[in-house]
Structure 1
Amino acid sequence: MDAQPTTPPAAPIRVFVVEDQTKILKNQLRLLEGHQEIEIIGTALSGEAALEEVPKVMPDVLLLDLGLPRMSGIDVTRAVKASYPKVEILIFTIFDEEDKVLEAVKAGASGYLLKGAPVDKIIEAIKEVRAGGTVIQPNLARRLLRHFRVDPDSAPLPTEPRPSPAPVEPVAAEPAAPEAPTAEAADEPQLKPLSDREREILQLIAKGVSNSEAARLLNLSKATIRTHLEHIYRKLEVTNRVEAVTEGIRKGLISV
């Protein structure tokens, strides 16, 4: 009997680490080395050095210290996402930097970890952001939501619809298939309600639950969770979790 073909192992996630404290950097590398899922492809001791090296190696995930000297982690996040939007950024922070973490998330970071997190949490977070998820722990998630509720300019509601084009001459009435809208209909704002499952997932991410945790809680695959999130983003006309939760609160779809 012929041997069954084996599935080749997944390529490791290519990680670049930015940390200005040499001792902390060495500790981080020691924790991450030896894990087959992760490949450390470079390090930098400053934001300026990171911006020089990132385009040379193009990491999957940038593990970035928030409290860098001179060029801050927020500035690095903004610059990297502007030039290399596919690079996911995971912030390393300390307890008293919530406001700065908020700015980093708004600048494009996919989430944050507290310094001193156990290695299994770091590996899980790297996998999560590489898969398109977001890592926001519950204590900061609540602060993020409070910020957006009191700062309407940070997540504005959709603008008023643009003036409709001149009406076309009516034709014979023929029901249009909702699954295949015309190009003209696609240009018009369509407010589709969230399904019960989508509202359930939106409520979970408002509590800071990761894609992996949501999948376990709802007995679904991570791919299914990601698909639901894509539908939520499209329906709410947003691009990330923070904006989705903000719109969900504004529209009364979820509670916090």
Structure 2
Amino acid sequence: MTEATASSPIRVFVVEDQTRILKNQLRLLESHQDIEIVGTALSGEAALEDVPRLNPDVLLLDLGLPRMSGIDVTRQVKAQWPQVEILIFTIFDEEDKVLEAVKAGASGYLLKGTPADKIVEAIKEVRAGGTVIQPSLARRLLRHFRVEPDPSPVPTEPLAPAPAAPEPQHKPLSNRETELLQLIAKGVSNSEAARLLNLSKATIRTHLEHIYHKLEVTNRVEAVTEGIRKGLISV
């Protein structure tokens, strides 16, 4: 379970415009041997200048930056350095912005004031390819996803007669996949899901890949949304 951190610590770059909060985050994280703080920035512009030089694994990014927003930083970092995972720090009344950050490529989000052990766990989670969704914001985000129009294309002219037995709307999930998707909807991380289901993290990631493929989505938020739309799970 510690393969990602066994050889070297995770390189973390912290972007926060309020120096008091920044110092507090550094104090919380610097005591963890699995984490190496490779740099800090007080603005998005400064962060973009330093990312290629510092080569971080994970960017801890304040969503409410002045001038250049955390959303814009996310978009540019993922466009230029897609290997960098981005973990957003947010507050309760920023769910619209969180949604945009997730769409722009952020791998997850944490509320400001999250305990240090949860921050470290989230950093490990996104470094390992996972996504972090906190239950305290998950339902509010899902409401936004559910009111979006269906992006499926609509035929503009009649096609050949449909077959007598129409194709199913989605590939059925297995009982284990449905169970895992329900846990994800509650904000459970890969590590927590592995413990709850008595499975390895590698097996959890495999199940997630199958869920994404069957639901034709690319991340946890979309998977939960599709699961709700199709009546597979509830929140």
TM-score normalised by the shorter chain: which range applies? 0.7 to 0.9
SS of the residue 1:97 aligns to: helix
Asked if residue 98 in structure 1 is aligned to residue 95 in structure 2, the reply is yes
Give yes or no for contact 2:38–2:56 (8 Å, CA) kept in 1: yes
Aligned to 1:175: none
* SS of the residue 2:64 aligns to: coil
| Identity of matched residues, % | 87
- 2:209 is aligned, of 216, 227, 230, to 230
Instruction: Could you tell me which runs of 5 or more consecutive residues in structure 2 were left unpaired when the two chains were aligned.
Output: 156-167
Residue 220 (structure 2) pairs with residue 241 (structure 1): yes
Q: Deviations over 1:31-75 (max 9, x none)?
A: 111311001111111000101111122211000011100001111
* Matched AA of 1:132: G
Distance 1:255 1:33 in 2: 39
Counterpart position of 2:233? 254
Partners of 1:199 and 1:157 in 2: CA distance: 24
Tell me the alpha carbon deviations over residues 168-220 of structure 1, each in whole angstroms, 9 at most, x when there is no partner: xxxxxxxxxxxxxxxxxxxxx99532111111111111121111111111111
Deviation at 1:10, TM superposition (A): 2.7
Question: How many Å apart are 1:108 and its aligned residue?
Answer: 1.1
Matches within 5 A, 1:1-256: 9-153=6-150, 156-157=151-152, 191-256=170-235
Q: TM-score, normalised by structure 2?
A: 0.87
Task: Give the paired residue count.
Answer: 220
Q: How far has the Cα of 1:240 moved from its partner?
A: 0.6
List alignment gaps of at least 5 residues for structure 1.
Answer: 1-7, 161-188
Partner in structure 1 of residue 162 of structure 2: none
Q: Secondary structure at the match of 2:36?
A: strand
Alpha-carbon separation, structure 2, partners of 1:86 and 1:251: 32
Structure 1 residues 124, 159: CA separation in 2 closer, same or farther (over 3 Å shift)?
farther
Q: Judging changes above 3 Å, is the alpha-carbon distance between structure 1 residues 159 and 239 closer, same or farther for their aligned structure 2 residues?
A: farther
Given the superposition, is the C-alpha separation of residues 214 and 158 from structure 1 closer, same or farther in structure 2, using an over 3 Å criterion?
Answer: farther
Shift of 1:158: 7.3
3-state SS of the aligned residue for 1:242? helix
User: Which AA in structure 2 matches 1:79?
Assistant: Q
Shift in Å, 1:95: 2.2
Give the TM-score taking structure 1 as reference length: 0.80
Give, in angstroms, the shift of residue 9 of structure 1. 3.4
Shift of residue 94 of structure 1? 1.8
Amino acid at match of 2:210: H
The alpha-carbon deviation at position 145 of structure 1 amounts to: 1.4
Q: Deviations over 1:85-109 (max 9, x none)?
A: 2211111112222221121112111
**Higher Rg of the two aligned structures:** 1
CA distance in 2, matches of 1:35, 1:159: 52
**Deviation string, structure 1 residues 102-130 (Cα, Å, up to 9, x no partner):** 21112111111111221111111111111
The RMSD of aligned alpha carbons is 2.1
Conserved? CA contact 2:58–2:127, under 8 Å: yes
| Aligned mates of 1:200, 1:121 — CA distance in 2 | 23
Q: Distance in 2 between matches of 1:87 and 1:232?
A: 24
Mapped contact 2:62–2:70 kept (Cα < 8 A)? yes
Q: Return the alpha-carbon distance in structure 1 between the equivalents of residues 44 and 200 of structure 2.
A: 37
Q: Which amino acid aligns with 1:95?
A: F
